[in-house]
Every structure is written in structure tokens, then in C-alpha cells.
Amino acid sequence: DGGITQSPKYLFRKEGQNVTLSCEQNLNHDAMYWYRQDPGQGLRLIYYSQIVNDFQKGDIAEGYSVSREKKESFPLTVTSAQKNPTAFYLCASSGRQGLNYGYTFGSGTRLTVV
């Protein structure tokens, strides 16, 4: 079945560490997105990519980095510069032919700083 796979489901980070969240899709979608979700704040866009080897900052890109070397993959690195990284992270994708149909989301990664 086609879909988006995020891993790991739960991730713990020590202070000062970088961690990378994985996002893989087999939907043949061109565009991919990373969101952060905090209680009461809805979804906030971190980075997005509409084509391989190209990506743009979203509303809260500071302290995060991404790469898009393959159409299927869009990993997110949470760097030590992100001062409050504890949150629920969601990856999504959309296809050009599906502009009217919104995004397909993964099941999320819950990151906790310990």
C-alpha cells in the first residue's frame, strides 16, 4: 500500500545533540513537508520541498535542517540550535495531480529532550 513512513515513532534527545527524523513516501509525490505540532498551536511549517534537490524554509526553520536527495525521502535534522525541540513532528506529501486533494501525512515522531 502507498503511504508515508516516519521513523522512529518516539525519539529521545540529550541536550546538545543533533537528531535526524526519517520520512519516506512511496506515493510518487513531488512535494514534501515537515510540520511541528505543539498543544494549542496547531501545525507549524518547518521546511518544504517541491522538487528533488530544492527546499524552502517555512515559518519556524531556525534550528532545523533538511535535505532532498531523492524524491522518496525528506529527512529532518533537529540541531542543538533548536532550543525547545520537544514536540510532535509530522511529515506530509502531495502530488501535482493531487493539488486539490491536500496532503497525505505520516503517523508522526514524538521527540523528547531528556
Q: Point out which residues bind other proteins (CB under 8 A).
A: 4, 6, 31, 40-43, 45, 48, 50, 88, 90, 92, 94, 99-108, 110
Single-letter code of the amino acid located at 105: F
Task: Give the residue with the Cβ less far from other proteins, 63 or 95.
Answer: 95
Shortest separation between residue 80's beta carbon and other proteins, angstroms: 26
Pull the grid cell for residue 55.
527546499
Task: Give the residue with the Cβ less far from other proteins, 16 or 39.
Answer: 39
Shortest separation between residue 87's beta carbon and other proteins, angstroms: 13
Shortest separation between residue 107's beta carbon and other proteins, angstroms: 5
Q: Are 52 and 107 in contact (CB under 8 A)?
A: no
Q: Are 7 and 109 in contact (CB under 8 A)?
A: yes
Cα–Cα distance, 21 to 8 (Å, whole number) = 7
Q: Which of 10, 20, 16, 32 is nearest to 96 (CA)?
A: 32
Task: Give the residue with the Cβ less far from other proteins, 12 or 17.
Answer: 12
